[in-house]
Amino acid sequence: MTETALTLLGAVVLDLALGEPRGSLHPVAWMGCWLDRWWGWRPRKGPARQFLFGMMAVLLGMALFALPCWLLSRASPPLFWLWSVPLLKVTFALRALLQAGEEVREALERSDLPEARRRVRWHLVGRETADLPEPLVVSATVESLAENITDGLTGPLFYFVLLGLPGAWAYRFCNTADSMWGYRTPEKEYLGKFAARADDVLNWIPARLTALLLVAGAALAREDPRGAWHTLWSQHRRTASPNAGWTMSAMAGALGVTLEKRGHYWLEGGSGPLDAQTIQRALRVVRWTMALVVGTTLLMTLLLSGLIAAIGSSHW
């Protein structure tokens, strides 16, 4: 088994065992600090100037955070493996995503809707949740669980396989920039446009791969893979994002429910109830999908390793 595969397995075990680093110890917090500092220097006027400023901040940040990983990749194999496992782990989050969903479900099972609203707003979504009824709290939770498989797992691992640790860290920085700046508000429309578009491009393949694996995950979770497949292909264009609709529509069909973000989209997978049990079912699908993502990434790693070895040993 290759060093890349060992690093991947080690990082997954570390994530499941320990979860996320806390507060300022997490590299994503460092990325946020970088973006906050640049935000303070932003030009206040001129769409072109704002766009170029945002592009420069994102590209420099991607390079800055990828550089230490590239330098460490030149270390001897034992030392590199020692560092590569935790460095890869902090680019993705299996345990944290599952725990966030569980916390919302537990609050709803206690009939504590205000706490469920608070938890979904704190852990999972950027939208306002203070006035959401229970079905829309459940919908927001399920949507976020489905979408974040791409951002929180498939994307980082995909670029790790292709470009090593520098690729995973550059991806994570761009995704963080999109989550902070990529909004169509008067203040962020042009400053965050490059981050949003770059994130769309980087997630184009991971989102579609995740959606297909979610259909398989629905089958393994004993949900409705046919419904997931049908809803995926018929409704993935209903969201403003070119990527998020793929996994969210697949999840709607898998669970036989309609997911809604008020004023933005409806993903009609069925007329099933939206309650705490729906989140429990979604979490089962997510767990199986995550397992398939990790397994597929390992397979990609081994196939690429074999291909590179074959090319290296040829005498063309």
Domain boundaries of the chain, sorted by first residue? 3-309
Q: How far is Cα 215 from Cα 232, in angstroms, rounded to an integer?
A: 9
What's the pLDDT score for residue 309? 67
What's the pLDDT score for residue 312? 65
Q: How far is Cα 30 from Cα 28, in angstroms, rounded to an integer?
A: 5
Token pair of 137 as six digits: 């709290």
- Mean pLDDT in residue range 297-308: 82
Instruction: For the chain, give the longest Cα–Cα distance.
Output: 69
Specify the DSSP element, H or E, that contains 155. Answer: helix 155-181
Residue 170 has pLDDT above 80, yes or no: yes
Across the chain, what does the average pLDDT equal?
Answer: 92
Q: What is the DSSP letter of 76?
A: -
pLDDT band per the 50, 70, 90 thresholds, residue 3? confident
Tens-digit pLDDT profile for residues 26-49? 889 999 999 999 999 999 889 999
| pTM, to two decimals | 0.93
Tens-digit pLDDT profile for residues 223-243? 999 999 999 999 999 999 999
